[in-house]
Amino acid sequence: MRSIVGEIVNSSDGVTVMDMEASIEHLSRGTLRYVDALLVVLEPYYRSMETAGRTVPLARGLGIERIYGVANKLRSPEDAEAVEAYCRNHDLELIARIPFDENVVEADRVGRAVIDYDAASPIVEELSRAADFLLREVRVGGNGAGRN
Amino acid sequence: MKIAISGKGGSGKTTISATLTRLIARRGLSVLAIDGDPNPNLIQALGLGPGVEAEAVPRSVVERREDEAGKTRHVLTSSVSEIVGRYGLKAPDGVTVLVGTKVDHAGAG
């Protein structure tokens, strides 16, 4: 099944965004060999960062050059600092610092996308910057250059 | 450009994937979102209502072939546009979403 996703990603021309399986043992060549950038979501908790700590070397071993951190559910400056320290120590560029966003919970409760629930939500604003970054840094300079 | 998003279950990975997808689409690009999670809910996070389901892309779209060196390769048996046309769902902002996995891992390969 992983190779199905990998082959579709490989063969499609436009932008593809892949929501990966949670368990890192499924980070296989089949799915990831064509990926231009891997985003690793980090919550400011030990176990979340520990998972990332195993994901990043694995992904680097698969030859993915662009690996970025996305910090999520930050509730305090201390949370932000914990994730930033982790990223500094692991040579991981942090491209989004998303605060804990009540709108995510509310949007889910009413069955809507958070961007439709409130486009001014902090998560939307922060990911908007991340989208610009990716289009500038990866789309232009990535393996997919010229192919979208 | 091909982006993969990973993270622990409950980290907000799917919400982040969906929101980023919509935002890239709003910048005028054609975006294919792929749900590679065994418990798919990317469809809802993209803004398709509760209860909307996609038929998962079946294993049969990929075939194993051996090359001259005896190495096994996976090749698609139909084009991406055919696969997208058959199994893809249209989401807001012109996004297309495919559900790539709905398998028990015992048999996954």
pLDDT of residue A118: 98
Task: Tell me the pLDDT tens digit for each residue of A51-83.
Answer: 888 888 888 888 888 999 999 999 999 999 999
The distance in angstroms from the start CA to the end CA of chain A is 25
Q: Per residue in A15-50, is it b (16+ CB within 10 Å) or e — as a string?
A: bbbbbbbbebebbeebbbebbbbbbbbbbbeeebbe
- Check CB contact of A89 with chain B, cutoff 8 Å: no
Cβ of B13 within 8 Å of Cβ of A20? The answer is: yes
CA distances (Å), origin A107, targets A103, B19, B36, B46 = 6, 12, 22, 11
Interface predicted TM-score of the whole assembly (ipTM), two decimals: 0.91
Note the CATH number of domain A2-139.
Answer: 3.40.50.300
Give residue limits of the domains in chain A: 2-139
Tokens of A53: 């700590």
Give the one of B12, B13, B59 whose C-beta lies nearest to A1's C-beta.
Answer: B59
**Which SS3 state, helix, strand or coil, does residue B88 take?**
coil
Question: What single string gives the DSSP state of each residue in A71-94?
Answer: EEEE-SHHHHHHHHHHHHHTT-EE
- pTM for the model stands at 0.89
For residue A15, which residues of chain B lie inside 8 Å, CB to CB? 1-3, 24, 29-32
Determine how many CB atoms are found less than 10 A away from the CB of residue B55.
Answer: 12
Give the one of A41, A116, A143 whose C-beta lies nearest to B7's C-beta.
Answer: A41
- The answer to whether residue B105 scores a pLDDT higher than 50 is no
Cβ of A5 within 8 Å of Cβ of B23? The answer is: no
Cβ of A113 within 8 Å of Cβ of B6? The answer is: no
